[in-house]
Amino acid sequence: MGKFVITKRTNGEFQFNLKAGNGQTILASEGYTTKAACTNGIESVKTNSQDDSRYDRKESSNGKPYFNLKASNGQIIGSSEMYESVSARENGIESVKKNAPDASVDDQTS
């Protein structure tokens, strides 16, 4: 089962990573100024992860596939790692769809 891990950056911002059952990070958030905003971001991932149209499939400047998960307003709420192939990226998207809705939250900031 997946889990969201909330951590604090050195600049004081909060961020979350969605980890798959095997512990691999499958989605990383932007930085948030408050923990409440970070928690809202997690809820947004849970909601939007089930809608395939929310996944923006991209390719980095060095040719590696990755994806962004966007909210209904178009804002990016999470980004994936760089993948070696398009099929690996698609597996990453499927992993987010599978893990995000019921993922627990592990707050490591308190």
Q: What is the CA radius of gyration of the chain?
A: 13
pLDDT tens-place string over residues 22-58: 999 999 999 999 999 999 999 999 999 999 999 999 9
Q: What gap in Å lies between CA 59 and CA 9, rounded to an integer?
A: 27
Q: For all residues of the chain together, what is the average pLDDT?
A: 96
Predicted confidence band at 110 (pLDDT cuts at 50, 70, 90)?
Answer: confident
Environment class of 58 (CB within 10 Å of its CB; exposed 0-12, middle 13-18, buried 19+): middle
Closest C-alpha among 36, 13, 28 to residue 96? 28
Q: What gap in Å lies between CA 27 and CA 16, rounded to an integer?
A: 8
Q: What is the pLDDT of residue 82?
A: 96
Q: How large is the average pLDDT for residues 69-97? A: 97
pLDDT tens-place string over residues 86-109: 999 999 999 999 999 999 999 999
Share of the chain above pLDDT 90, in %: 98
Predicted confidence band at 72 (pLDDT cuts at 50, 70, 90)?
Answer: very high
Does 1 score more than 90 pLDDT?
no
**Residue ranges of domains in the chain, CATH in brackets:** 3-107 (2.30.29.80)
